Amino acid sequence: MFNIISLISGLLFGFGLALSGMVSPGKVVGFLDLTGNWDPSLAFVMGGGVLVTVITFRFILKRSVPYFGSEFKLPTKTDLDKRLVTGAVIFGLGWGLGGLCPGPALSSLAYGNPKIFVFVGAMVAGIVIAKLLTGGFKKTA
């Protein structure tokens, strides 16, 4: 059941990213282009998503076990460390340059554009390099 829920969640997520316009780097850059021909659409994506999660997450997280599966696996860190800030800066830079973040990049593989395959390949390489530099491969999940 747990795996089926994950597949359904992924299906919805991919569809939502396409409908919302997030899969278009032009739309993303248009949103980030505050001083140019600004397109505020993507604020509605984040707004719509958080509107739902801020309500539903409260109820779900009151439970000691999830509805499907045996345990919650949630982030445990609460402090604002240098690593969080550094990562966010690096990601922001890449997001502004390419107009793609991980979800839309993976979803757009559906449309068969070779440029997206190159981006996703580079993104995977970026994860591997970051793991090598930070000792991420030694950690046991």
Partner 1 sequence: MENFTPYSSLIGGIILGVAATLLLMAGRIAGISGILSSLIPPQTGDALWRVLFIAGLIIGAAVYPLVGGDMAFLNVNPYQLSDNAHYVLLVIAGLLVGGGTYVGAGCTSGHGICGLGRLSLRSLTAVLIFMAVAVVTVFIMRIVVGG
Site for partner 1 in 98-127 (CB under 8 A): 98-103, 105-111, 113, 115-116, 118-127
Q: What is the dihedral of CA 128, 131, 135, 137, to 10 degrees?
A: -60
Least separation in angstroms between CB 90 and partner 1:
3
Residues whose CB is less than 8 angstroms from the CB of residue 13 and which lie 6 or more positions away in sequence, other chains included: 103, 107
Residue in 25, 125, 114 with CA at minimum distance from that of residue 17: 25
Interacting positions 26-85 with partner 1 (CB under 8 A)? 26-30, 32-42, 44-54, 56-57, 60-61, 65-75, 77-80, 83-85
CA 113 to CA 110: how far, in whole Å?
8
Map residue 23 onto helix, strand or coil: coil
| DSSP for residue 109 | G
